[in-house]
Amino acid sequence: MADVESTTATLHLNRRTGEFTLSVPLDSDIVLKAAKRALAQRFKRHSCNMDDPGKVKEYLMMHLAPEPRETFVGLFLDTQNRLIAYEVLFRGAIDEAHIYPREVVKAALRHNAAKVIVAHNH
């Protein structure tokens, strides 16, 4: 069991079943923190296979949704589509970012990645 505590509630996660139980009603901040923690656990390095587009979308939404400006990222994968690293490659203004392919290639080589997924939030 993992606990996310606040002054008003405790959220218990049964890791075997994936079910949550509550000690008292929760506010949205606690629920969002718990969800983010659960998703981060699901996508640990080398434990998540990124060959399912739905998983990739879920992972990217978790990381990119809070970004207020243009953010260009790379997901670096091994030969079996497992996540090696997530890296913010470029940040821009509210409506644009300058992308340099050479830097994307350098990051892929630095992570020794066999495959790369690139994405941006807008």
DSSP 18-59: TEEEESS---HHHHHHHHHHHHHHHT-TTT-B--SHHHHHHH
Mean of the pLDDT values across residues 28-35? 71
Residue 113 identity = A
- When pLDDT is cut at 50, 70 and 90, the band that residue 101 belongs to is very high
- When pLDDT is cut at 50, 70 and 90, the band that residue 24 belongs to is low
Instruction: Summarize pLDDT for 52-79 with one digit per residue, the tens.
Output: 898 899 888 888 888 888 999 999 999 9
Instruction: Summarize pLDDT for 102-112 with one digit per residue, the tens.
Output: 999 999 999 99
CA distance 68 to 80: 33
- pTM for the model stands at 0.65
Instruction: Find the angle CA(79)-CA(60)-CA(31) to the nearest 5 degrees.
Output: 125
Q: How far is CA 97 from CA 49, 80, 88, in A?
A: 29, 31, 12
Q: Which pLDDT score, from 0 to 100, does residue 8 have?
A: 56
Q: What domains does the chain contain, in order, with CATH numbers?
A: 2-42 (no CATH), 53-120 (3.40.140.10)
